[in-house]
Amino acid sequence: MQNSILLFAGKKKYFDIISRVLGDYTLFFCETLVDGIQLCRKHAIPLVLIEEIQEAGDGCTLFHELTNTCPMLSGLLISETEEGQMLRRAMDCGISGLVELPLNPDQLQYQVSRTMEESILRRENTRFHTLLPLYGLGEQFLSSTGEDEVLAILLDQVVAQTGVDHVSVMLFDAEENCLRIAAARGMDGQLARSIRLKPGDQIAGWVFQQGKPVILNRDSQETSIFAPLLKRKEITSAISFPLIVRGTILGVLNISRTEREEFFSESDNEMLAIICGQAALALENIRLLEGAKKTTRMQTLFEQYVSPEVAEILLANSENIMGLGEIREVTVLFADIRNFTSLVQHMKLSDLRVFLNEFFRLFTDAIFQHRGMVDKFMGDAVLAVFGAPVELENAELAAVRTAICLRDRFEKLRDRWAGYQEKFQSVDIGIAVTSGRMYIGNVGSSRRLDYTVIGTPVNIAQRLAAESSGRRIYVTAPVRAAIEDELEVREVGRLSLRGVERKVLVFSV
């Protein structure tokens, strides 16, 4: 405490006088070196008043012994004389000045105030020069490529700054809802891997839940609220410190000493706050980067099975994936390779795979070129959707232009393959485009889903594609009405289609 003073005297006769003069300060009294060291550690005392004449030794020697353990301590010597040699000796051992006996209240008040100000300034300068290099750790932390590297740097720095025997980092596992040791020094590896703490449990769980650090020193821990939880009596001093970034607590750093009688103070918390803050920021950045990579990998994988638009919808609505769907006006295109079944009997499976891959690639390119969605591949047929999920001003026109593009590209593909195998000359493609109100969304179960379209127009498109031949593209009346100002369309007539109750009025592009 910055307003605390230790009176080190052979007798307590000065205690009451000094207490009255220095009423704004908290005064502690001791007679032995051991008691003095304990009081300075426990209360972080910045100033000691030492009586020169003592049975335990002279004041300069006692102050030297005290500063060996408490190096930031300032001192004033209480003496009956201000003889020059004594003053020089006092200055040489670090004592800031002399207070002459008998005590003069004004002189005592002045000397204490001046020494306190110097002590505070010296402590601030020391703290500044000690903590300033720690801010430079940010670049080292942020250049890390993984969590393990960040944690290794964190442990190295904490050990270097504190000299602790034991240090561990516990990170919160959201899936198990517990804290687990992610890295440790001075701890059995098997034991570290087995430890699990729920938020609120034990000291580390409390620190994680509350977001506040806890200092436990041997000389004061019995009065702590955590006294019932202290199971290792050999621990001299310990700190549990939260890893916090942007208000989120990622875990807890635990450090402890068992061999040295050194206690932790608020200055140690300040040092840990700098190191842990930078480590937590680095951990967050790595997790965000890993999350972005995972999302990118997932989206890339999705787009190999569904269109980019569907992949984006599924990733954005993963929490309510079963309820994803709606009824709306949609246009569908169905394309089917005609006479392909007989051709398959004369083809090698490896050649068949290559041909179908080329067909599906040119089909997909044409669909994406006109902002459609590939719904599914079905053997030697394909189904595409226009107008959803991507909004189009004239979905019917986009679908028909895709059909024309697909027809022309397929003819070139067929002629090229016919140069290798003559039977390809008999292969044709049937294409149909329909539109109407359909359901578009997820169908299936939580274990296997299909984002697709369902409705009578889909069935009609499939049946019309089977009827189409000779480079013809069949469309229904709603499609014809939407494209007739842009493309030439002629009436084919009413066709009876399998599975459709009424005849369907059909047009050809």
Summarised one tens digit per residue, pLDDT across range 83-134 is: 667 777 777 778 888 888 888 888 888 888 888 888 877 766 655 655 566 6
Question: Is the confidence at residue 55, as pLDDT, over 50?
Answer: no
Q: Rounded mean pLDDT of 423-437?
A: 88
Strand order of the β-sheet with 97-100 is 26-30, 4-8, 47-51, 74-79, 97-100
Weakest-pLDDT range from 172-176, 191-195, 457-461: 191-195
Q: Rounded mean pLDDT of 355-373?
A: 86
Task: State how far the Cα of 147 lies from the Cα of 374, in Å rounded to an integer.
Answer: 39
Weakest-pLDDT range from 36-45, 150-159, 382-391, 423-432: 36-45
- DSSP label of 418: H
Question: Is the confidence at residue 54, as pLDDT, over 60?
Answer: no
| Residue-wise DSSP of 298-351 | HHHHHTTTS-HHHHHHHHHTGGGGGG-EEEEEEEEEEEEEETHHHHHTTS-HHH
Percent of the chain at pLDDT above 90?
22
pLDDT in the model for residue 56: 42
CA of 276: how far to CAs of 249, 251, 269, 351, in Å?
A: 11, 10, 10, 60
pLDDT in the model for residue 167: 93
Sorted by sequence, the CB contacts under 8 Å of residue 100 that are 6+ apart come out as 79, 80, 81, 82, 107
pLDDT in the model for residue 104: 86
Residues in a beta bridge with 97? 76
pLDDT in the model for residue 483: 92
- Return the top range by mean pLDDT from 12-16, 130-134, 328-332: 328-332
Choose between 141 and 504: higher pLDDT: 504
pLDDT in the model for residue 128: 60
* Residue 152 CA, distance from chain mean position: 18
Weakest-pLDDT range from 160-169, 351-360, 453-462: 351-360
The band of 152, judged by pLDDT with boundaries at 50, 70 and 90, is very high
pLDDT in the model for residue 161: 85
Choose between 342 and 65: higher pLDDT: 65
Sorted by sequence, the CB contacts under 8 Å of residue 125 that are 6+ apart come out as none
Choose between 266 and 134: higher pLDDT: 266
- The torsion of the CA quartet 74, 77, 83, 86, rounded to 10 degrees, works out to -60
Contact 376, 383 (CB under 8 A): yes
Question: Is the confidence at residue 347, as pLDDT, over 80?
Answer: no
pLDDT in the model for residue 308: 63
Contact 130, 268 (CB under 8 A): no
Question: Is the confidence at residue 482, as pLDDT, over 80?
Answer: yes
Question: Is the confidence at residue 453, as pLDDT, over 80?
Answer: yes
Q: Count CA atoms closer than 13 A to 142's CA, side-chain side.
A: 9
pLDDT in the model for residue 422: 77
Q: Rounded mean pLDDT of 415-438?
A: 86
pLDDT in the model for residue 230: 61
Choose between 174 and 299: higher pLDDT: 174
pLDDT in the model for residue 476: 94
The band of 21, judged by pLDDT with boundaries at 50, 70 and 90, is confident
Q: Rounded mean pLDDT of 132-155?
A: 80
Q: Rounded mean pLDDT of 322-331?
A: 78
Question: Is the confidence at residue 333, as pLDDT, over 70?
Answer: yes
- Return the top range by mean pLDDT from 45-59, 303-317, 382-396: 382-396
pLDDT in tens, 185-226: 988 888 888 889 999 998 899 999 999 998 888 766 666 777
Amino acid at 76: L
Domains delineated in the chain: 4-126 (3.40.50.2300), 137-290 (3.30.450.40), 319-508 (3.30.70.1230)
Choose between 234 and 191: higher pLDDT: 191
Task: State how far the Cα of 245 lies from the Cα of 503, in Å rounded to an integer.
Answer: 67
Query: Would you say the pTM of this structure is higher than 0.75?
Result: no
